[in-house]
């Protein structure tokens, strides 16, 4: 096509206005003076229209190379993880740290399922003992006060007892007589061996000595039945011979059967004990280093509860002691006729005495442990457009990833598909990423 000289400036102006929209305003006056219609100037001044009508000249760049003229240095249609691209949130490491968005690798683990049951702290019945008054007597001395710590076999009280005095006297008399009759028998045996005495005297001495030894043994057994040691009684009797004003003949010492604390005192000094109608116990001692949690588990949950299962016990009132681990030690095979629930007992360590009998608590009983190949914390999950997603860490920020979920526990959930072990996901403050994603998607749609 041949262009006439008179129209050459006009053609050049139109071409420049279409190719370079930023300078079209400068030549608008000249083109109008040359007789170009204003409607043509408006259409050539629109950058978008001009960009669609002018074909890009061929270049020597390889496919996929960035076009310097494109925004951000990307070729049109390139699939970079940029803010504004659907499903991605651009964020630097500094921004992630400043917004406290925690990131953790995805890995396998164990899901623990639980049921919650209310319960009550009670003393461990295997660690409670009474200090009984085994003899009839009067309380002469109380050496422990309520709440005092005691050791096993420590003397906690002393009784004054005629019954004890009689038993001790009987034993001590039997000991003396048995020794005398033994000496007489040995003498008669020596005489009989020499044929100096009659056989009847020897046989009589032997019978008497045997009877005396038997009486001593019976007296010793009577002391043992009262909780007294025969050797200790004999030792105290020898000591009393040197201190006649401090006789121990009527004294009966009460000892603690286990180590623990005095949790109950049932008598006062001067109280009569041991007879019918009198108190039969002086103290109650409890070892509270381990306590029990008494639970009442409904029939529907009972098949899932096993002896040996782990339990987390938490206080029934806020501000009490923190949760503590225990273990199920007993599941009753019988049901309560009224409640149709079974008694379950949990043993709970109580070294610091934080758990007091009578306290109401909540027990979280583990009923299943499932091993899964991929699990994430529940805090990593968000719901976008009705679908469960996580945010996977990328070099540019985070990528929204839809996931299919399986089993769960209180803290984590199994991921059936959508994630692989080793990938890093956001596990804290993920709602910030969801908010940023909403802004990006809104800008993209616009």
What is the predicted pLDDT for the residue at 234? 87
Place of tokens 């009577």: 222
Give the CA-trace dihedral at 14, 18, 20, 26, to 10 degrees: 50
d(CA 242, CA 438): 99
Residue 358 has pLDDT above 50, yes or no: yes
Task: For 398-422, write each residue's pLDDT tens digit.
Answer: 989 999 998 887 788 989 888 888 8
In sequence order, what are the residues at sequence separation of 6 or more whose Cβ sits closer than 8 angstroms to the Cβ of residue 261? 147, 148, 149, 150, 285, 286, 287, 288
Give the CA-trace dihedral at 206, 211, 216, 222, to 10 degrees: 160
What is the predicted pLDDT for the residue at 28? 52
Query: Phi and psi at residue 352, in whole multiples of 5°?
Result: -90, 5
Task: For 237-296, write each residue's pLDDT tens digit.
Answer: 888 877 767 778 889 999 999 999 999 999 999 999 988 888 989 999 999 999 999 999
Place of tokens 């990423």: 433
Task: For 100-123, write each residue's pLDDT tens digit.
Answer: 889 999 888 888 788 889 999 999
Q: Which CATH architecture has domain 88-110+371-445?
A: Beta Barrel (2.40)
Domain 290-370 carries which CATH code? Answer: 2.40.30.170
- The ranges assigned to domains in the chain are 1-73, 88-110+371-445, 128-156+259-286, 162-249, 290-370
Task: Decide: pTM greater than 0.85.
Answer: no
Task: For 197-222, write each residue's pLDDT tens digit.
Answer: 888 888 999 999 999 999 999 999 99
**Average pLDDT value for residue range 421-430:** 89
Looking at per-residue confidence, does 84 or 302 come out higher? Answer: 302
Task: For 87-102, write each residue's pLDDT tens digit.
Answer: 888 888 888 888 888 9
Place of tokens 């008694």: 343
Greatest CA separation for the chain: 179
Residue 299 has pLDDT above 50, yes or no: yes
d(CA 231, CA 228): 9
Residue 64 has pLDDT above 50, yes or no: no
Q: Is 441 left (phi over 0), alpha (psi -120 to 50) or beta?
A: alpha
Residue 49 has pLDDT above 80, yes or no: no
Mean pLDDT for the chain overall: 79
What is the predicted pLDDT for the residue at 79? 35
DSSP secondary structure letters along 46-68:
-HHHHHHHSPPPP--PPTTPPPT
Q: Which two tokens stand for residue 225?
A: 């039945």
What is the predicted pLDDT for the residue at 217? 94
């Amino acid at each position: 096509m041949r262009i006439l000289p008179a129209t050459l400036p006009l053609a050049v102006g139109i071409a420049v206005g279409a190719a370079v929209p930023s300078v079209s305003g400068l030549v608008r006056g000249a083109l109008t003076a040359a007789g170009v219609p204003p409607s043509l100037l408006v259409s050539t001044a629109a950058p978008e229209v001009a960009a669609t009508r002018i074909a890009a000249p061929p270049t020597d760049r390889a496919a996929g190379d960035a076009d310097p003229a494109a925004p951000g240095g990307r070729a049109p249609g390139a699939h970079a993880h940029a803010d504004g691209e659907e499903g991605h949130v651009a964020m630097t490491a500094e921004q992630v740290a400043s917004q406290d968005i925690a990131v953790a690798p995805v890995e396998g683990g164990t899901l623990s399922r639980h049921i919650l049951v209310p319960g009550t702290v009670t003393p461990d019945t295997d660690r409670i003992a009474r200090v009984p008054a085994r003899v009839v007597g009067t309380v002469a001395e109380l050496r422990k006060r309520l709440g005092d710590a005691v050791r096993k076999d420590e003397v906690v009280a002393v009784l004054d007892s005629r019954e004890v005095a009689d038993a001790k006297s009987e034993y001590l008399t039997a000991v003396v007589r048995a020794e005398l009759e033994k000496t007489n028998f040995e003498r008669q045996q020596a005489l009989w061996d020499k044929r100096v005495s009659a056989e009847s005297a020897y046989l009589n001495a032997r019978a008497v000595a045997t009877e005396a030894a038997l009486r001593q043994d019976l007296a010793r057994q009577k002391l043992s039945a009262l909780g007294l040691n025969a050797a200790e009684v004999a030792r105290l009797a020898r000591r009393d011979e040197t201190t006649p004003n401090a006789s121990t003949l009527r004294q009966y010492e009460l000892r603690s059967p286990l180590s623990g604390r005095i949790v109950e005192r049932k008598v006062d000094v001067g109280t009569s004990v041991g007879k019918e109608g009198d108190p039969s116990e002086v103290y109650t001692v409890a070892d509270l280093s381990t306590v029990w949690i008494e639970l009442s588990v409904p029939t529907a949950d009972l098949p899932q509860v096993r002896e040996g299962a782990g339990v987390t016990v938490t206080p029934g009132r806020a501000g009490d002691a923190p949760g503590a681990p225990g273990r199920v030690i007993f599941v009753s095979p019988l049901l309560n006729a009224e409640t149709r629930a079974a008694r379950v007992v949990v043993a709970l360590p109580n070294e610091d005495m934080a758990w007091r009998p009578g306290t109401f608590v909540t027990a979280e009983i583990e009923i299943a442990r499932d091993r899964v190949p991929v699990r994430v914390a529940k805090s990593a999950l968000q719901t976008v457009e009705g679908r469960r997603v996580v945010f996977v860490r990328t070099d540019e920020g985070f990528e929204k990833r839809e996931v299919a979920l399986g089993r769960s526990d209180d803290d984590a959930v199994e991921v059936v598909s959508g994630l692989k072990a080793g990938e890093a996901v956001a596990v804290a403050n993920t709602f910030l990423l969801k908010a940023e994603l909403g802004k990006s998607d809104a800008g993209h749609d616009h």
